[in-house]
Amino acid sequence: MNQYNIKIINEKEVNWDQVKDLEIDNYPWYENGLKQKTFVKVAIHNESINIKVLCEDIHSYSEETNLNGDVYKDSCFEFFVTPENSLGGGYFNMEINCCGVLHLSYKDEEGNRVFCSKEQAERITIIASITSATKEEKIGDISWELSIKLPIEVLEEMSGKKVEYDCWYGNFYRCGGKTEPQYATWNPIEYNIPNFHLPSQFGKLTIS
């Protein structure tokens, strides 16, 4: 099981140079093509989960523009997390395409799903380096970036649970869009077809 430490930052601003990155570099369902790199940094600051994402991508593509739509079909970054010390418990899946379009939902242990509301989504800050939908693959691009600020209170509202800053479980994913989708993961997954919704195979996220 992979492990990553999420630092609690008490300074006025997050100094990202001092935050260790992780790499999404497992390809459980690889067939062919480029294995383009994805680097992620995560910190807790001002009671929010702050995430920086850098994705190498010569095939940047996005079509979805609706909240909670089929973002996974685009060039996309995903963060799945059980924000409690319970491997295999209820989890959030956050998916954001290269243009910053959000899909966020919570699935509890019984399989019930709650989707992020428009009001909750407006409290989440997402800055994308690509600012408009790219229904044709962009020519000449080599990468795209995301900066995300996800308030903890939004997760608590959706799940009805208090989030403790102790030990979480989660995984980070990358989808490639139209060409060479790859389905890359941070924590390795053992499953016969692409499937990110496997909380029992999340990695460990310590908070300190």
For residue range 25-41, what is the model confidence (pLDDT) as tens digits? 999 999 888 899 999 99
Distance CA 90, CA 94 (A): 13
pLDDT of residue 176: 86
- In the chain, the domains with their CATH numbers are 3-207 (2.60.40.1190)
For residue 140, is pLDDT > 80?
no
Q: pLDDT above 90 covers what percent of the chain? A: 86
pLDDT class for 141, splitting at 50, 70, 90? Answer: confident
Asked which of 80-94, 123-137, 169-183 is least confident by mean pLDDT, the reply is 123-137
DSSP string, 121-166: HTTSEEEES--S--SSPPSS--EEEEEEEEEHHHHHHHHSSPPPSS
77 touches 146 (CB < 8 A):
yes
For residue 50, which of 151, 128, 158 has the smallest C-alpha distance?
151
135: pLDDT strictly greater than 90: no
Residue 49 and residue 152 in contact, taking contact as beta carbons nearer than 8 Å: yes
**E strand or H helix at 153:** helix 152-159
User: Can you tell me the mean pLDDT for 114-132?
Assistant: 95
| Whole-prediction pTM | 0.94
Range 117-122 average pLDDT: 98
CA 159 from centroid of its chain's CA atoms: 18
Lowest-confidence pick of 80-84, 141-145, 197-201: 141-145
Q: What pLDDT, on a 0 to 100 scale, did the predictor assign at position 188?
A: 97
pLDDT (average), residues 194-205 = 96
Three-class secondary structure of residue 206 per DSSP: strand
pLDDT tens, residue by residue, 149-164? 999 999 999 999 999 9
Q: How confident is the model at residue 139 (pLDDT cuts 50, 70, 90)?
A: low
Q: What is the mean pLDDT of residues 46-75?
A: 94
* CA of residue 145 relative to chain centroid, distance: 12
Give the type of residue at 101.
V
Q: Which position has the token pair 């019984």?
A: 110
Question: What confidence tier does 134 reach under pLDDT thresholds 50, 70, 90?
Answer: low
Would you tell me how many other CB atoms lie within 10 Å of the CB of residue 12? 7
User: 65: buried, middle or exposed (CB in 10 Å: 19+, 13-18, 0-12)?
Assistant: middle
